[in-house]
A = this chain, B = another copy of it.
Amino acid sequence: MRLAVIGAGAVGRSVVELAGEYGHEVVAVADSSSATVADGSGAGAGVDPDAVVARKAERGIVGDADPEDALAADYDALVEATPTTLGDAEPGFSHVTRALERDRHAVLANKGPVAERFGDLRAAVDDSDGEIRFEATVGGAIPAVSTVEDIEPGHVTAVRGVLNGTANFILTRMAAEGLDYDHVLAEAQDLGVAEADPSFDVDGTDAALKCVILANVLSFGAADDPADAREFTLDDAEVSGIRDVPGSALRLAAEDGRTVRLIGEATGETVRVAPRLVPENGTLAVSGTQNIVQIETTHAGRLNISGRGAGGPETASAVLGDVGRLE
């Protein structure tokens, strides 16, 4: 497929670098201020991935064209990899709907549109010959969305798990070293695991967005008529983060063979994210930046899937898996 990659952060750049290995061709790339669009058309006429990535690293732009040119390029699927925004989820939402209006597909790594405007997005898909996919929005390399789709949402009663690597790294270190939150946060920031402003991760917002997306998949997937499906947004999630988990709580838990994890849970009716006690050697107690998703099914018991929940190539491989499913 011919791909237009919108967003040139770690995920966008990895998609550009890996697309060829998966048999696809990148015909346009944009960041927020620049773009590059392939000259010709037909096989072999894509952009030069190495040149795009090098230019971004050296000059901070991907090319000399306007971002608008990349959106107007002749692609089969648009890859939306701009940063997640809340509320109206712009500009990601418009990028996706413009692709759908042209009957093209869209693959999202950006959580905003699927978490905050799922109903609007479904309506746009209904009016289009294009489809949307968004495996990369939940759990990085973990195939959470597609596994729920394969089981069929009507046969899934709940999805829960550890969906934020930064919060999990901090809790893991607090338990292992007997240190307090502030100390471990500073360490995580030094290592680049936590951002300078860690709120999005440690307050549970990121995990909650992922659970909201899963709740939308469950709710719309199980409804016979989309008009009957309940739409979830971040406002529907009950969220508490890990800032207030004291080191003493982890020490107390350890004495009882338990530890604390930031657990998110989605059903077709509720979304909840909160620190929870879990068995120290249990399935949910993944370490460091690992993520885990548990899928509760009506006929096949519980399925556990763990792996790398973030990272450029990891998330790009989820994007390219989605592109493969669109063919």
A residues at B contact (CB < 8 Å): 14, 18, 21-22, 140-143, 146-147, 150-152, 154-155, 281, 283, 297, 299-308, 311, 313-314, 316-318, 321, 324-325
- Residue among A18, A154, A300, A325 with most chain B CB within 10 A: A300
Give the contacting residue for A304; candidates B300, B302, B305, B313; CB below 8 A. Answer: B305
Smallest Cβ-Cβ distance to A314: which chain B residue: B300
Cβ of A11 to closest chain B Cβ, rounded Å = 12
Query: Could you say which residues of chain B place their CB within 8 Å of the CB of A303?
Result: 141-143, 305-307
Give the contacting residue for A297; candidates B150, B155, B317; CB below 8 A.
Answer: B317
Q: Are A314 and B299 in contact (CB under 8 A)?
A: yes
Which residue of the partner chain B has the closest CB to A301? B308
Provide the bound-state CA to CA distance between A303 and B286, in Å.
13
- Besides A146-B150, A301-B307, A304-B306, 5 more A-B contacts (Cβ < 8 Å) are A141-B297, A142-B303, A147-B147, A299-B317, A302-B308
Q: Which residues of B contact A317 (CB under 8 A)?
A: 151, 155, 297, 299-300
B residues in contact with A321, CB < 8 Å: 150-152
Asked if A143 and B152 sit within 8 Å, CB to CB, the answer is no
With a CB–CB cut-off of 8 A, which chain B residues contact A18? 299
Contact A300 B306 (CB under 8 A): no
B143, B154, B299, B314: the one within 8 Å of A313 (CB): B299
A283 to B302, CA, bound (A): 16
13 contacts between A and B (CB under 8 A): A21-B155, A22-B152, A140-B300, A141-B300, A142-B303, A143-B143, A150-B324, A150-B325, A299-B317, A300-B308, A300-B314, A300-B318, A301-B307
Chain B residue at smallest Cβ distance from A292: B304
A316 touches B304 (CB 8 A): no
In the bound complex, what is the Cα–Cα distance between A1 and B263 (angstroms)?
38
Cβ 8 A contact of A324, one of B22, B140, B152, B307: B152
Given contacts A146-B150, A303-B142, contact A281 B283 (CB under 8 A): no
| Contact with A143, one of B21, B150, B283, B311 (Cβ below 8 angstroms) | B150
Cβ contact of A299, chosen from B147, B283, B299, B316, cutoff 8 A:
B316
Which residues of the other chain, B, contact A314 by a CB distance below 8 angstroms? 299-301
- Which of chain B's residues has its CB closest to A141's CB? B300
Report chain B residues within 8 Å CB of A147. 143, 147
Which B residues touch A307, using CB under 8 A? Answer: 300-304
Q: How far is the CB of A67 from chain B (nearest CB, A)?
A: 27
Chain B residues lying within 8 Å of A313, measured Cβ to Cβ, are 299-300
